[in-house]
């Protein structure tokens, strides 16, 4: 896998992937000149990967599915450093369908890919997750915040930097780009909350120079706003169903898919 062959500007961040880093699946990034956009992360700081994994574990999710690429090298490595493995499949579409199946069994699924060539291959599976009301998270690496200045000749870029985001805006219920360390944790929480509440797929894009950045803690615990339930009508429906079952000699229940997805 080759790094982008671009002429660095004064604040361009470019990949410097050592032999050891390639073995570990982790890319390191160096600022060509001047200080980085954000302060380096200390071991005690919260970061995007650690907060994502914390929220995943709260939902009972212990792994994801995906295909790594250079825009997602650091993200995949950081997730695995947090004890959250990404299981590799034959291609990105297969990974997204595997995450869809996982979500149907566990209530939430994670599909991860690189920018453009990887993310766009997941569109079909994400569209299916919308149609079937499955909370599937599409987690994509992306060009760095600093790399987006000007018109760099970055590979896998289609039309402009927001093309992939716009594609998934029609396929997911909520989309966020984590380009601000002050709001990233709350953005993650907003996506997960909305996905669970609406039982629809969501989209998170992580610029590669944001992976190792310290972020502000979230405003609070994850808040899930479920649709209101009319308790009286629910009790009446349950009572009616029980009466039918009691009177039947050989009862048969024909339940739709939403009975367990909701």
Q: Are residues 108 and 195 in the same domain?
A: yes
Residue 218 lies in a domain: no
Taking only the tens place, the pLDDT of each residue in 163-194 is 888 888 999 999 999 999 999 999 999 999 99
Strand order in the sheet with 86-88: 86-88, 64-66, 109-113, 136-142, 202-207, 174-177
Q: Are residues 81 and 123 in the same domain?
A: yes
Q: Are residues 122 and 243 in the same domain?
A: no
Residue 223 lies in a domain: no
Q: Are residues 172 and 247 in the same domain?
A: no
**CATH value at residue 130:** 3.40.50.970
Count of domains observed in the chain: 2
Q: Where are the alpha helices (DSSP H) in the chain?
A: 19-24, 48-58, 73-81, 92-106, 123-131, 163-169, 184-198, 231-247, 258-261
Q: What percent of the chain has pLDDT over 90?
A: 55
Q: Tell me which residue range forms the domain holding 71.
A: 13-210
Residue 166 lies in a domain: yes
pLDDT at 7: 33
pLDDT at 81 over 50: yes
Residue 216 lies in a domain: no
Longest dimension (CA), the chain: 80
Among residues 119, 99, 131, the alpha carbon closest in space to that of 161 is found at: 119
d(CA 170, CA 96): 17
d(CA 187, CA 197): 15
User: Are the CB atoms for 180 and 113 separated by under 8 Å?
Assistant: no
pLDDT at 94 over 80: yes
User: Are the CB atoms for 190 and 123 separated by under 8 Å?
Assistant: no
pLDDT at 9: 37
pLDDT at 259 over 80: no
Residue 4 lies in a domain: no
Q: Are residues 166 and 247 in the same domain?
A: no
Q: Are residues 114 and 177 in the same domain?
A: yes
pLDDT at 153: 63
pLDDT at 69 over 90: no
The mean pLDDT of 246-250, rounded to a whole number, is 90
pLDDT at 261: 67
Sign of the dihedral defined by the CA atoms of residues 236, 240, 243, 245, in that order:
negative
Q: Are residues 129 and 239 in the same domain?
A: no
Q: Are residues 161 and 78 in the same domain?
A: yes
pLDDT at 148 over 90: no
Considering only 205-214, 232-241, 247-256, which range has the smallest mean pLDDT?
Answer: 247-256
Residue 105 lies in a domain: yes
The pLDDT confidence band at residue 157, using thresholds 50, 70 and 90, is: low
The pLDDT confidence band at residue 112, using thresholds 50, 70 and 90, is: very high
Other beta carbons within 10 Å of 146:
23
Sign of the dihedral defined by the CA atoms of residues 210, 211, 216, 222, in that order:
positive
pLDDT at 142: 87
């Amino acid at each position: 896998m080759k790094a982008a062959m671009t002429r660095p500007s004064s604040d361009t961040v470019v990949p410097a992937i050592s032999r050891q880093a390639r073995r570990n699946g982790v890319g390191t990034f160096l600022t060509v000149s001047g200080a980085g956009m954000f302060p380096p992360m200390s071991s005690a700081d919260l970061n995007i990967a650690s907060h994502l994994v914390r929220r995943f574990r709260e939902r009972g999710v212990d792994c994801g599915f995906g295909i790594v690429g250079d825009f997602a090298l650091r993200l995949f490595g950081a997730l695995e450093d947090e004890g959250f493995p990404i299981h590799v499949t034959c291609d990105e579409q297969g990974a997204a369908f595997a995450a869809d199946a996982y979500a149907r069994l566990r209530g939430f699924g994670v599909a991860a890919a690189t920018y453009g060539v990887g993310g766009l291959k997941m569109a079909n599976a994400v569209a299916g997750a919308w149609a079937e009301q499955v909370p599937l998270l599409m987690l994509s690496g992306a060009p760095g915040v600093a790399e987006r200045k000007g018109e760099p000749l970055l590979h896998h870029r289609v039309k402009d930097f927001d093309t992939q985001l716009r594609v998934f805006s029609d396929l997911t219920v909520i989309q966020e780009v984590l380009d601000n360390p002050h709001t990233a944790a709350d953005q993650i929480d907003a996506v997960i909350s909305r996905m669970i509440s609406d039982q629809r797929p969501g989209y998170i894009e992580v610029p590669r120079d944001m992976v190792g950045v310290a972020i502000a803690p979230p405003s609070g615990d994850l808040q899930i706003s479920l649709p209101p339930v009319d308790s009286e009508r629910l009790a009446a429906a349950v009572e009616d169903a029980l009466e039918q079952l009691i009177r039947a000699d050989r009862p048969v229940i024909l339940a739709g898919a939403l009975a367990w997805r909701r």
